[in-house]
Amino acid sequence: EADTDDQQGTLTFEEFTVFYKMMSLRRDLYLLLMCFSEKKDHLTAEELGNFLRVEQK
């Protein structure tokens, strides 16, 4: 749903922002992301990278 421009397989910054907001609204993923963000309401680039490496193998 987030990749709106001709299914090119990549996301622009704006598309990524929409994707991240969609994912953050899911309670199960929100709780998981909180584990990687030290209970903050946002992730740093390093925390996001760590989440993707660990959880999205």
The per-residue pLDDT for 2 is 56
Q: What pTM did the predictor assign?
A: 0.52
Phi-psi region of 44 (alpha: psi -120 to 50; beta: other; left: phi over 0): beta
How far, in Å, CA of 31 to CA of 21, rounded?
Answer: 14
Task: Label residues 17-50 b or e (16+ Cβ within 10 Å = b).
Answer: eeebeeeeeeeeeeeebeebbeeeeebeeebeee
Question: Tens digits of per-residue pLDDT, 26-43?
Answer: 888 888 888 888 888 788
